């Protein structure tokens, strides 16, 4: 590329949600490091950091991409105000498709660790180290550990060819796990980036406000307008709704999961249309539905929930409000027993797929969309 570096496109993205409410809520003198694969070539990068679910200011003492300082209005340190997201200056750094960049954050003082999301997959892991190693090539082995919690780092944009674009994968724990990474691997070199906006446990219509389940995240109406701030996006795949169906068990079983939280299928349909599809179309995006996966054997499985899933899936497959449907259910279910995963495709909990099943989901998206 010589004269096409003329558009900002998101090249990596994550949701920002409420972290798991544990005994330790603060960090001090800590380095976070995240390796990120670049999907296409570019000449400049900019970074969005989020304290969306924090209740106190968070100071990033210094932030580096490789050995280059990331600055904010020319300053190396930045304070992220609670409930807000902050974008860096544009940083000159030439990248090529397939390159791995490393984003390192150093937190010098006591820092509230409320804003982050747990994600997994072959491209999704980071590290933390006790001490200041943001500028170092290597983290000390005896002072560092691997993590799948991504704190504060929300989106990376690259100045790139106007041919490049982004596809958003939106959902819950299914999407917070591996299939978007496999999709990104399969699309490497195609001028399409995969941006993940997923939080485990989230529902379309409800959210939890207790510390036991706070990490299950924000409801769809709150999440979607924030998470769809994606430069260069052309499409969004929405695979969401299974938690609305499987969570309610009654307050006699769990005080935080009343039966009144169980929606009708019609309420789910209206929620998807009003909360997701209409706003996405107003943004100029093509909206793809993603069917819900089998759940037979899950601990709250029953005939009513299965009937709801099947009815909702039929609507996702056939409704004219979508640009198209990626039938993830068909890609992973057992042909002889469609209520369950195919052999080798169940992670073991009868809700989340295995790694081969996540690869099959990515292949289904490729076959339908590209």
15-38 mean pLDDT: 96
Domain borders along the chain are: 7-155, 164-369
Q: Find out whether 126 and 34 touch, Cβ atoms under 8 Å.
A: yes
Calpha distance 264→244 (Å, rounded): 10
Mean pLDDT, the chain, integer:
97
169 strand-pairing partners? 196, 237
* Residue 315 CA from chain centroid, whole number: 24
pTM for the whole structure: 0.96
Q: Which CATH number fits domain 164-369: 3.40.50.2300, 1.10.150.650, 3.40.50.1110, 3.40.50.620?
A: 3.40.50.1110
75-126 pLDDT, tens digit each:
999 999 999 999 999 999 999 999 999 999 999 999 999 999 999 999 999 9
Look at residue 3 in the predicted model and tell me its pLDDT.
Answer: 47
Look at residue 223 in the predicted model and tell me its pLDDT.
Answer: 97
pLDDT of residue 2 exceeding 60, the answer is: no
Look at residue 5 in the predicted model and tell me its pLDDT.
Answer: 57
Pairing of strands 153-160, 7-13: antiparallel
Calpha distance 87→349 (Å, rounded): 39
pLDDT of residue 1 exceeding 80, the answer is: no
Look at residue 6 in the predicted model and tell me its pLDDT.
Answer: 87
User: What is the percent of the chain where pLDDT is above 90?
Assistant: 98
Number of H helices, E strands in the chain: 9, 23
257-295 pLDDT, tens digit each:
999 999 999 999 999 999 999 999 999 999 999 999 999
């Amino acid at each position: 590329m010589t004269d096409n570096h003329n558009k900002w496109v998101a090249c990596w993205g994550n949701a920002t949600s409420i972290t798991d409410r544990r005994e330790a809520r603060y960090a001090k003198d800590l380095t976070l490091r995240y390796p990120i694969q670049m999907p296409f070539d570019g000449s400049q990068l900019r970074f969005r950091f989020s304290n969306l679910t924090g209740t106190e200011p968070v100071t990033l003492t210094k932030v580096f991409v490789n050995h280059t300082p990331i600055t904010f209005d020319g300053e190396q340190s930045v304070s992220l105000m609670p409930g807000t997201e902050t974008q860096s200056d544009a940083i000159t750094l030439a990248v090529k498709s397939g390159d791995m960049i490393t984003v390192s954050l150093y937190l010098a003082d006591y820092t509230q660790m409320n804003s982050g999301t747990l994600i997994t997959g072959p491209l999704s892991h980071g590290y933390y180290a006790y001490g200041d190693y943001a500028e170092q090539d290597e983290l000390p082995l005896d002072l560092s550990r691997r993590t799948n919690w991504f704190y504060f780092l929300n989106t990376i944009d690259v100045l790139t060819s106007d041919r490049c674009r982004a596809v958003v994968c939106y959902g819950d724990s299914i999407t917070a796990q591996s299939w978007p990474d496999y999709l990104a691997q399969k699309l490497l070199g195609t001028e399409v980036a995969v941006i993940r906006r997923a939080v485990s446990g989230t529902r379309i219509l409800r959210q939890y406000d207790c510390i036991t389940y706070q990490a299950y995240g924000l409801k769809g109406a709150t999440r979607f307008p924030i998470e769809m701030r994606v430069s260069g996006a052309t499409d969004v795949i929405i695979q969401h709704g299974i938690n609305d169906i499987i969570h309610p068990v009654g307050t006699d079983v769990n005080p935080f999961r009343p039966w009144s939280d169980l929606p009708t299928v019609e309420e789910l349909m209206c929620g998807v249309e009003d909360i997701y599809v209409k706003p996405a179309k107003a943004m100029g995006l093509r909206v793809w539905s993603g069917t819900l996966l089998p759940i037979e054997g899950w601990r709250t499985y029953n005939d009513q929930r299965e009937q709801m899933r099947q009815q909702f899936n039929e609507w996702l497959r056939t409704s004219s409000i979508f640009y198209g449907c990626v039938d993830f259910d068909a890609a992973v279910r057992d042909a002889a027993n469609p209520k369950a995963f195919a052999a080798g495709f169940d992670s073991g909990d009868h809700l989340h797929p295995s790694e081969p099943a996540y690869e099959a989901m990515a292949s289904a998206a490729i076959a339908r969309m590209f």
